[in-house]
Amino acid sequence: MEPELPNEPMIRDYLLGRLESDAALVERIDELMLNDPEFSESIDVIEDEILEEYLEGTLGRADNEAVESHFLRPPERQLKLRQASLLSRRISAPARDTRDEVPKQTSAEQFPLSGLRHWHPQYMTYVAIAAVALLSISSAYLMQSWRRLDAQLSQSNEMLVRERERSSGLSRQLDVVHGLAQPATVMLSLVQSGLSRGEAIVPELRIGSGTQKIHVEIAMPPIREHEYSVRLEAGGRIAWHLDSIRAFSSPDWSILMLDVPVQVLAEGENRFVVRQNSGSELTYFFATSKY
């Protein structure tokens, strides 16, 4: 069930700064001011009542001190106080009787429109009162519009955050699906040694996020030795090595087969160096890229 709206005494205490110890209620009123236009209008009405009582001197001592120390801190309330004070002085001031000040007129100066001069000061007073009232209404309307715009911006920001979280979740799901579609083991066949970039087309190894290991087959010339040591050089350093590897041999060829963890590879140029017991070495270049 939705909590009840704060009543008028609660709102007065909120405006006079007496609810600072009740953080939950203060947060509730702040939220209602941003999101509930009718509640925000009620706040404006109670603000005007407090200002009127302050100007009339009908507030108690404690309320009067709260108005001066807390309520009038915001610049917009100070402006409303000045406007209300000016309007009150204009309304309470008696209209100055200017009939005795009108100079005697000759018959030539008497004409039907001469009464406008007599009422001119009062007319200006009414215009000033109307201008102050219009300014006060305009300020209240602008403040109300600003609050509504701020509430709409807050809602838009919340929607944007939710949309970003949704997009991030979809992206993670796509990554998982993409990883499932990739083979866990990728084959790399190296046939010719001694080739590097610029001399010939070197083998290209493409690995994805789902790849876990590389199955390497290295072809070598037929030789009598059966055990070798292999090291992987990636990024100019030795990233991995394996000793005492036996080759599968025939009269025409020899093949080394080994599995290499994908974590030791670096993007760009890599190479396997095969060392024979006699000390001679064969180098096999290949390029690695990720997708």
Which parts of 36-96 fold into alpha helices (H)?
37-56, 61-66, 75-92
DSSP state of 104: P
Q: Are residues 219 and 264 in the same domain?
A: yes
Residues 146 and 189 in one domain: no
Domain that holds residue 243: 185-290
Among 163, 195, 223, which residue terminates a domain? 163
Dist. CA 264–CA 170, nearest whole Å: 30
Do 27 and 142 lie in one domain? The reply is: yes
Asked if 151 and 205 sit in the same domain, the reply is no
Give dist(CA 171, CA 168) in Å, integer: 5
pLDDT tens across 208-260, in order?
888 889 999 988 777 666 678 989 998 778 999 898 888 877 776 678 789 99
Q: Examine the domain organization and report whether 251 and 142 are in the same domain.
A: no
User: How far out from the chain centre does Cα 18 lie?
Assistant: 33
Give a yes or no: residue 103 inside a domain: no
Burial of 269 (0-12, 13-18, 19+ CB in 10 A): middle
In a domain, 113, yes or no: no
CB 271 within 8 A of CB 285: yes
Give pLDDT, residue 122: 54
Quote the pLDDT of residue 194: 67
User: Does one domain contain both 159 and 189?
Assistant: no
Comparing 165 with 174, the larger pLDDT belongs to 165
- The 10s digit of each residue's pLDDT in 15-42 is 999 988 889 999 999 999 999 999 999 9
Of the spans 81-95, 114-128, 253-267, which averages the highest pLDDT? 253-267
Same domain as 49, residue 151: yes
Closest residue by Cα to residue 216 from 194, 247, 244, 238: 247
- Report the pLDDT averaged over residues 43-62: 94
Give yes or no: residues 137 and 223 share one domain.
no
pLDDT at 115: 45
Structural domains of the chain, count? 2
Per DSSP, the three-state class of 232 is: strand
Does a structural domain hold residue 218?
yes
Which of the given ranges, 38-52, 124-138, 232-246, has the highest pLDDT on average? 38-52
Is residue 104, in this structure, part of any structural domain at all? no
In a domain, 112, yes or no: no
One domain, residues 84 and 154: yes
Q: Which two tokens stand for residue 185?
A: 């083991």
Residue with tokens 């309320």: 63
